[in-house]
Amino acid sequence: MRKHHFFWATLIVALCNMLPLTAIAQEPDCGKAATTAEQYQCANNELSTAERNLESAFADALQRYTPNADDNDLPQPQRDQHAQYEKKMRQDLDLSQKIWLQYQSAACAAVSDMYESGTMGPTSAALCKAQLAKQRTEFLQNNFGQVR
């Protein structure tokens, strides 16, 4: 009896290894995503892209207020004043980002709650977070994106 189970298990593993991986883990066509699972995957892909862009914009904003070699050309009092200004700006950006992340989380939880634990709740939350991340990215780029 055990040999019989071993044979079937081996056969199943062999057949699975012959299947092309693209048939198992294929990206959905997000323009035509019909199932909830496809829509959720597309929403998460959009969110991942939006979050990467936001992280990049935030890093660029912080970089704008990071001391550089040109600061050494300034007289000491101006250099100290400039260093204080840059430190304050980095702190302000960090604080605003933390508060914004809390806002994003609360706002998108409310959007998800509209579906009262239905299948579209997670998808709507991901789309909400992506939309707000895009807005925040644009804000950071427009206000802090110019690295000196």
Domains of the chain by range and CATH?
36-67+75-148 (1.20.1270.180)
pTM: 0.74
User: Which has the closest alpha carbon to 43: 115, 106, 131, 107?
Assistant: 131
Instruction: Return the pLDDT at 22.
Output: 41
Instruction: Return the pLDDT at 119.
Output: 85
pLDDT in tens, the chain (148 residues): 455 544 444 445 555 555 544 444 566 678 776 788 888 899 999 999 999 999 999 999 999 988 775 666 778 888 888 889 999 999 999 999 999 999 999 999 999 999 877 888 999 999 999 999 999 999 999 999 865 4
Angle at 86 between CA 135 and CA 57, to 5 degrees: 25
Reported in sequence order, the residue ranges of 90-137 that DSSP labels E, i.e. its strands, are: none
Contacts of residue 58, defined as CB under 8 A and 6 or more positions apart, other chains included, come to 93, 97, 140
Instruction: Return the pLDDT at 106.
Output: 97
Instruction: Return the pLDDT at 11.
Output: 42
